Amino acid sequence: MNIFRNVVVCKPLPLLRENALHSIRKKSTKTGILMLNMGGPRNTDEVHDFLLRLFSDRDIIQLPCQNILGPWIAKRRTPSIQEKYQEIGGGSPIYKWTDLQGRLLTERLDKECPETAPHKHYIGFRYAQPLTEDTLAKMEEDGVDHCIAFSQYPQYSCSTTGSSMNAIHKFYKDREMKMKWTVIDRWCSNPFLIQCFADNIRKELQKFPEEKRKEVTILFSAHSLPLKQVEKGDPYPAEVGTTVNLVMKELKLPNPYRLVWQSKVGPLPWLSPSTDDAIKDTLKSNFTGLVQRGRKNLMLVPIAFVNEHIETLHELDIEYIKEFGEKVGAERIGRCPTPNDHPLFIDALVDEVKRHLTSGHTCSEQFLNNCPLCVNPACYASKKWFRKTTKSF
């Protein structure tokens, strides 16, 4: 009689298939924080692909015959953009800063929100590695239970946050979705964010001669936007203005200030005044009636960027301050650092996520509401998908 006939012999644990082990391990992340941003090439070899994705995205820029003209522009501009990246160290530091911000954020969340722990940050860039769609696949593979899509643009625009949200919808269009989804789409008035900007401005003012500090003109510089998009109802200019007004209210300083716009691309009308024109006009003549002729002390504050990248390190620091400032005869043009890993900025990130987790709100109605004159079918489909997806959370 064989007493072992009906005995099931288990294989030793080391012999289990690798994917079975992976299935066990990957259930450890309860809350994933997907940090969404434009991204930047980490080295000059990535510049062309970055530009190709950017000029192919109709959410950020619309071109005639875009599938032809976009690649042509990317190829044509690659050498000059590569040179600019070489001048700032060979690549964009935006991944480094976003990764550090994410680690500091989730360390705090694990301590302060144990009920939703463990938390893990993920980076989803629109035009550079790690691409949003690759990160989404990784999150699904990791078995994340709840994903918070957290835009790293404090002020919402259809061309930035909207484009990232459209990419998420596109990824799931023909795929099964396993994660629960909620969204933080804007946070332009977060009190810790405002305090962070104000603290950086105060510190930068200390670098000016004491007798000049009250005269320094503060130029809040944000990425510009085509007027065609603004006229459709994009809320970005209003939200940037909100941040600026709150920062000045926090500062309680008498300094004159203005909101200016940088990084215009192409011949079509964009938001104005441009940052370079504002510097020139402020220095040589009357600046919208508020600054006396010949004022030569300015401060640039990148108000819509949360970490350093080419538009701060090259466009502001080299093109505007070093090269242009010398030509027009500035005494001093200061530049505030972006928030980066400032403790108050980490407080802002933690505050946004904590309030989101406890609010019961999965997605703001402001995000789900289309711009009044929007004609982009991708936006309609995306917002409809997010309304359905977040409602079922």
pLDDT one digit per residue (tens) for the chain, 393 residues: 343 333 333 333 343 334 433 443 344 789 999 999 999 999 999 999 999 999 999 999 888 999 999 999 999 999 999 999 999 999 999 999 999 999 999 999 999 999 999 999 999 999 999 999 999 999 999 999 999 999 999 999 999 999 999 999 999 998 999 999 999 999 999 999 999 999 999 999 999 999 999 999 999 999 999 999 999 999 999 999 999 999 999 999 999 999 999 999 888 899 999 998 888 766 555 444 223 346 789 999 999 999 999 999 999 999 999 988 878 888 899 999 999 999 999 999 999 999 999 998 999 999 999 999 999 999 999 999 999 999 866
Domain ranges of the chain: 31-188+344-391, 191-335
25 CB burial (10 A radius; 0-12, 13-18, 19+): exposed
What is the model's pLDDT at position 167? 98
Q: How many CB atoms lie within 10 A of CB 215?
A: 17
Q: Model-level pTM?
A: 0.90
Span 33-91, pLDDT tens digits: 999 999 999 999 999 999 999 999 999 988 899 999 999 999 999 999 999 999 999 99
Span 128-148, pLDDT tens digits: 999 999 999 999 999 999 999
What is the model's pLDDT at position 324? 82
What is the model's pLDDT at position 281? 67
Domain 191-335 in CATH 2.60.120.10: no
What is the model's pLDDT at position 350? 99
What is the model's pLDDT at position 307? 98
**CATH of the domain spanning 31-188+344-391, picked from 3.40.50.2300, 2.60.40.10, 3.40.50.2000, 3.40.50.1400:** 3.40.50.1400
Domains 31-188+344-391 and 191-335 share a fold: yes
Amino acid identity, position 184: I
Span 352-372, pLDDT tens digits: 999 999 998 999 999 999 999
What is the model's pLDDT at position 294? 66
Instruction: Kindly state the tokens that stand for 22.
Output: 């992976």
Amino acid identity, position 375: V
- HEC string of the chain? CCCCCCCCCCCCHHHCCHHHHHHHHHHHCCEEEEEEECCCCCCHHHHHHHHHHHHHCCCCCCCCCHHHHHHHHHHHHHHHHHHHHHHCCCCCCHHHHHHHHHHHHHHHHHHHCHHHCCEEEEEEECCCCCEHHHHHHHHHHHCCCEEEEEECCCCCCCCCHHHHHHHHHHHHCCCCCCCEEEEECCCCCCHHHHHHHHHHHHHHHCCCCHHHHHHCEEEEEEECCEHHHHCCCCCHHHHHHHHHHHHHHHHCCCCCEEEEEECCCCCCCECCCEHHHHHHHHHHCCECCCECCCCCEEEEEECCCCCCCHHHHHHHHHHHHHHHHHHHCCCEEEECCCCCCCHHHHHHHHHHHHHHHHHCCCCCHHHHCCCCCCCCHHHHHHHHHHHHHHHCC
What is the model's pLDDT at position 232? 97
